[in-house]
Amino acid sequence: MPYPAGADVTEQDQQFPAQQQQPPGLTAPMSPAPDHGESSYEGHGLLTDRRALITGGDSGIGRAVALAFAREGADVAVVYLPEEQADADETRRWVEQAGRTCVLIPTDLTDESSARGAVTTAVTELGGLDILVNNAGFQMARRESIADITSDDLDRTFKTNLYALFWVTQTALEHLGEGAVILNNSSIQAYQPSETLLDYASTKAAINNFTVNLAAEVGSRGIRVNAVAPGPIWTPLQPATQFPEKVEKFGADTPLGRAGQPAEVAPAFVFLAADSTASYVSGTVLGVTGGKPVF
């Protein structure tokens, strides 16, 4: 179990132990362990035999989405950094436990040819593609002002969050047909940006615009495009990019008084991916923020 027996993961004023990792961050050292829905998510056949590519699907929200998609009947391909292999192997274990295929694609998405090649690999291994989840993202909050952001910092954030999303989506559209779905991972930072996340918040606002514009373009092809905007969610990215003292009260400033778990975000992706629940939903951003507004 991700929490000790009897623990209430939804109690307000939840406090995390001070902790720190180096990017990109891994699941195993986290305390407490994130909840990806391993013991709670129940599928209902909403995505039977669909084929999904999930970037950043090794951990955090990406793993929760991969697990949920698999339990809904989908096969998945997961893109991740080579140094995240241990997390990717664990994601594959849960997907295969659900009786579905999991293709692992270790790739640096900040390289254009690698990003495009990841899509080609996924299509080949899965036999096609029906759902694209642009989930991979990077942030760095261990700084005080714009003066601390270097060109290299900017390059890494924008290439991971925007360039890769563009390259992957552009290539995927060569294979996506009528009824396909593209889902982008945005953030509450697009609406309520933190001073220490200026570059990251900028990319998330751009992702919202990208989502709306692309939905208008590909709607005539029968392809839906939406985004999910999570609030503060307990993933490896947090201890890997925040100051330890910030981790302690992570998520406490939400109206619900706590951080969310990846398992609480994944159902939003399932809802938007399934024709039975969201066939007329396109060009929108769905907030999963613990009460913070996304309008």
Which residues are catalytic, by number? 200
Residue-by-residue DSSP string for 54-68: EETTTSHHHHHHHHH
Kindly provide the residue ranges of all beta strands, DSSP E only, lying in 5-95, ordered along the sequence. Answer: 51-55, 75-80
Residue-by-residue DSSP string for 222-285: T-EEEEEEE-SB-STHHHHHS-HHHHHTTTTTSTTSS-B-HHHHHHHHHHHH-HHHHTT--S-E
Token digits for 154? 């900017």
Q: Exposed, middle or buried by CB within 10 Å (0-12, 13-18, 19+), for 249?
A: middle
Residue type at 182 in one-letter notation:
I
Token digits for 5? 């027996």
Q: Kindly list the strands in the beta sheet with 285-288, ordered across the sheet, starting from the edge strand earlier in the chain.
A: 102-106, 75-80, 51-55, 131-134, 181-185, 224-230, 285-288
Give the span between the Cα atoms of 244 and 42, in whole angstroms: 34
